[in-house]
Each structure stands twice: as structure tokens, then as C-alpha cells.
Structure 1
């Protein structure tokens, strides 16, 4: 399959947004993973996706020069570079694995993901490595778990990021706790709490205030909502 246009990079879905890792609100808003970073672009792309073979499929995408600023990263990467994005996924019974790689100029990130389902329990984990010109290298990882009973789901996510090699005390941790109640296959109500613990030089925060909370601050929030998938 070939596609053209704008979409969220497949490397992101392959690594940090699969199964229980996107709960309680599908990795959006205040309760998204705030520590994931990538140089992948979203617009003006062309991609090829392989057919599925025994639960495995992969996608390769190229983004044009003029869209290097349209990125889900705050790495401050260089202008006028093609962007490359690779993703691979495999699903077999209760196990699922994924890998992703993105490159923009000399900046790149790569990650691996594993997911396991056993009865009413889902477990997920990922690891990511970043190498950016301005801030250096960084490691990050996430662990997630979900327990379902009836129409209810209890969710917990923990994400950790090391300091950037060129920025001291820039690491952080994030905790997300949530509860979902499924009204139907497409509609649910949810409540969640998230807390970001920043080191003295880091300022990770929620998407609408990221970078505006001040270095070393520890933002937290609680919320309830309704989600309907069309």
C-alpha cells in the first residue's frame, strides 16, 4: 500500500502508543506520555506499507524538505533535510512487538516495544534512544499495565527519561493512573491523574503548556471525560 499526505508517524505507534500504553485516553491531552520525543514529521510524506505476513508488517516513509518544522519533537533540528521514518510490527496470539526509527539530518531516535495480554491483564513496555545535535543523547522507557473487569478498566503507566548528555539535571519521570468505564464499544467515560517529576533543568509538562512551567517544576493534574470514537 502506498499513501501520501499527513498522518502521525508509524514509528510512534510502533513504539509508544500500542495497546495499554495509550491509556486512559489514547495518549492525548493531559494524560499523554509527555516524555516521548521524536524528530519524525507529520506532513507532506510518501510511504509504502508492506502486506501482512504471519502477523508482521512494516512501513517506510519519507518527508519533504519544507516540513521539517512540522515535527512532534522540540529538538530544534536543522532546516532543509529529508525526514525518514521506519516502523515494524508483529502480532502473534498474546504477544506483540514493535520497532521504530526516525531520522532528520544528523538527528535520530529509535525504539523497541513489547506487549503481552493474559486474560483480563495487559502489560506493555518500551525503550527509546534519542541522539540530537543540540542536546545530545538520551534514554527513556515506559511500563504500563491494565486490568479489566466487566465494563471497567484500571490503568497505570510509568515513564522515565534520563538526562540529555549535554544538559545536566534534565531527566524526568511521569506517572499516569486512570479508570475507564466502557458504555459501548466506541464510547467510554474516564477519570485520570498524572504527575510529572522534573529534575532541576527539565520542564516537561502537558502538551498545551509544555516548556511554560519553568525548569524543575512538578506539574500534576486530575480530570474526567467522555470519549467517543467515530
Structure 2
């Protein structure tokens, strides 16, 4: 009996040491509400993507630690999972005085950085119009995040493209090789975030995109509870975009090339539990071409060269507590014509403008 008590005491001591050196956090977000937009019925949808995640670290000593993150995305209204199994994140890495290095599925840094200029975070019906080379997360990636030096910090990623080696590539790889769309990807983001001032500059070349590029600059300044922001984003879409399911194209405009110039001007004001936000977004789409690989659902763009869109968004947010928020949003998008509306909304859309309204609840845990 004495030996058993000694063994139990030793196990308890070792377990206590292990738990002191490592930790795992379970976190999540539940969001759903009602959305009504032009051309669609009233439906349940979300503002922020609902998720459950696990992240942790192990102390390795001398200021170094091992880290990991796993995050699952889903929709609350029907319980369905979205994307790949761990769509939100799936990575492991090391952190120390040098910064952080992670390998796996991570946030795309140009999107992560530029979204801070949109008070709606490029989410929901009030989001600014998204580039056709927009990504929230990317797979098969090495990501580096530097330490912060007087408000300055650097993020960089390198993404491996699809295997297109002659002896091992699959049908998707064959297609990429045929159209010359196979390439590795990389991105760089330089940010200054110190006190009331935020400045950012980003460049990204997505993998397997036929060397499509996107770059952006912008800034924000905070006056007490008021924050104003302005940004510019330029996209050169060469008609290809990697897709999680392995499809050679990711959207309804297969093989369509275009150049996009997007400007955003926004403001938000916070006082106590209340927050009011507004944004104006202007996007010019030009040099539209339907080339090799384009599908029948892009025929409506034949002979169409350019157009512009203006989007106006407002929103109100009320924090019931530190973790629970109610929200309401209203957005109106004015497209130059029906063809450009279909470029953004899909080939079945028949209007030249979109009005949307949403209300919902967001709870973090």
C-alpha cells in the first residue's frame, strides 16, 4: 500500500510539472442570424464563421516553445461542416526570440492585414467587395511572424503548389501544367501598429494561380472612440485560383482574367457597449478576358471589357457581455450594369444592384 501511495505521489508530481510546462486551450465562436438579399429568399446565415478550435504550447526552455493549432469551421443553423476537415487552421511550429514559424494551414497574410481596414472584417453582407484572388486561409504553407519592434512587424509565407512532376501528378496537376498555371506562392506583409496609428503594405502571389498577384496599402487612425481608415488593393487575376476540393478553378468564372482596383474608406465609433460602423467601397474591374480553360458559365462576359461597382455599408453592434454580441447590418451595392453584377454574384443573377440586411447574435467561448 505504501509503495502504491509513493507511486501515485510521484505520478502526481510529474503530471503537475508537465502541465506547468505545456497548455492546451479550447476556444470557439457561435454565430447565426437572418439574412435577406436581393435575388434570394430570407435565410439563416452567419456574420463571422462559427468554429471550434484547439491551440496549445509546450515550454522548451530558454524562451522557446512548441506550438500548434487546429480549428474546425461549421454553420450553426444546420450543423454542417464547411471546407476541408480542419478548414480554419491546421499547423504546428516553433516560437522564440526570433519570432514564430508555423507549417501547415494558416491565415493568408494579405487578406489578414487588409481586412483590418474594413470595420466588418471582410465578413458578412456588409463586407467590401472581395478580390477574385481573395483567400482567408492557405494550405501547404510555411509562415513566419517576426517580433514587434517599436510597432513594426513582418509576416511572410511560402506556399508549395500542386505536385506537377511528370511521374506523379494527378489530373489536376495535368491541367495546371497544360495551361502553365502551376507555380509556388509567396506573400509579404509589413505592418506598423503603434498607439492610434496603423499602416500596412502587402504583396501576395497565390500558388497554382498562373502567377496572379495582389498587393495593397492602407492605414487607419484612432481619435478616442472614433477610428477612420483608407485602403487600396490591386489584383491581377490571370484566370486561375487553387481550390480546396482540387478543382482547377474556384469560382463561377472559370479561366476569366481581369484586373481589379479596389478602394475602401471606412469609419467606426465605439462608446461603452455600442459600436456603429460604416464603409464605402469602390471597385473598378477592367481588361476582362475569357481565355483558355474558361467554362460555358462565363459566356455572358464575351466582349465585355470593364465596369465599376460602388458598395455602401452600415452596421450596429451591441455587446451584451464580453463574449456575446447582437448585430444588425445594411448594405447596398450599385453595379454599373447587369453583366458586372453577374461577374460578382454569379451567372444566374439578373439585377444590377443588391440590397441586403442581416440581424444576428455572436457568442465567443
Same fold (TM over 0.5): yes
Superposition CA RMSD, Å: 2.4
Aligned length in residues: 214
CA distance in 1, matches of 2:185, 2:130: 21
If the length of structure 2 is used for normalisation, what is the TM-score?
0.54
Q: Secondary structure at the match of 1:115?
A: strand
Q: Secondary structure at the match of 1:4?
A: strand
CA distance in 2, matches of 1:39, 1:147: 27
Q: Of 259, 270, 282, which aligns to 1:137? A: 259
Q: CA deviation at 1:52?
A: 1.2
The corresponding residue for 2:26 is none
CA distance in 1, matches of 2:320, 2:153: 32
Unaligned segments of structure 1, at least 5 residues: 68-76
Residues 47-126 of structure 1: matches in 2 within 5 Å?
47-66=143-162, 79-104=181-206, 105-126=210-231
If the length of structure 1 is used for normalisation, what is the TM-score?
0.83
Contact 1:199 1:216 in 2 (8 A): no
Contact 2:119 2:268 in 1 (8 A): no
Q: Secondary structure at the match of 2:139?
A: coil
CA distance in 2, matches of 1:164, 1:216: 20
Q: Secondary structure at the match of 1:59?
A: strand
The corresponding residue for 2:340 is 202
- Which structure has more RCO (C-alpha within 8 Å, separation ≥ 6)? 1
Contact 1:31 1:192 in 2 (8 A): yes
The corresponding residue for 1:223 is 358
Q: Deviations over 1:139-198 (max 9, x none)?
A: 111011112233111110111101222353432111111111111223210101011111
Q: CA deviation at 1:223?
A: 1.1
Q: CA deviation at 1:85?
A: 1.5
Unaligned segments of structure 2, at least 5 residues: 1-99, 164-178, 240-256, 289-303
Change (3 A) 1:133 1:38: closer
Contact 1:111 1:128 in 2 (8 A): yes
Contact 1:2 1:46 in 2 (8 A): yes
Change (3 A) 1:205 1:132: closer
Q: CA deviation at 1:94?
A: 0.6
CA distance in 1, matches of 2:139, 2:355: 31
The corresponding residue for 2:233 is 128
Q: CA deviation at 1:213?
A: 5.0
The corresponding residue for 2:138 is 42
Contact 2:310 2:335 in 1 (8 A): yes
- Which structure is larger by alpha-carbon Rg, 1 or 2? 2
Q: CA deviation at 1:204?
A: 6.4
More helix by share: 2
Q: Does 1:182 align with 2:182?
A: no
